[in-house]
Amino acid sequence: MKRELILWIWSELNKLFSESSKKRLERKIVQYKNRLVKNPYHLNLYLRLGDLLLKQNRPQAAAEYYRTAAGLLAQGYHSREVTVELIKIYKKILALSPLDDQTCKDLGEEYSRIGQHKKAYNLYFSVAENLYRQGFYEKALKLYQSALVFAPDSTIICSRCADIYYRLGRSGGPRKPEQETVV
pLDDT recorded at residue 22: 83
pLDDT recorded at residue 17: 53
pLDDT tens-digit readout, 50-72: 999 999 999 999 999 999 999 99
**Poorest-confidence range of 68-77, 102-111, 150-159?**
68-77
Give residues with Cβ within 8 angstroms of 125, minimum separation 6: 143, 144, 147, 157
- Give the single-character DSSP code of 42: -
pLDDT recorded at residue 174: 53
Cβ proximity of 107 and 87 under 8 Å: yes
Cβ proximity of 69 and 89 under 8 Å: yes
- Give the single-character DSSP code of 97: -
Domains of the chain: 1-97 (1.25.40.10), 100-183 (1.25.40)
**Poorest-confidence range of 40-49, 86-95, 116-125, 163-172?**
163-172
Alpha carbons 36 and 28: distance in angstroms, whole number: 12
Return mean pLDDT, the chain. Answer: 88
pLDDT score of 10 more than 70: no
**Poorest-confidence range of 87-91, 94-98, 144-148, 177-181?**
177-181
pLDDT tens-digit readout, 92-123: 999 999 999 999 999 999 999 999 999 999 99
Confidence of residue 180 (pLDDT cuts 50, 70, 90): very low
| Cα 114 from chain centroid (whole Å) | 19
Alpha carbons 155 and 78: distance in angstroms, whole number: 34
Q: Nearest-CA neighbor of 128 among 147, 152, 109?
A: 147
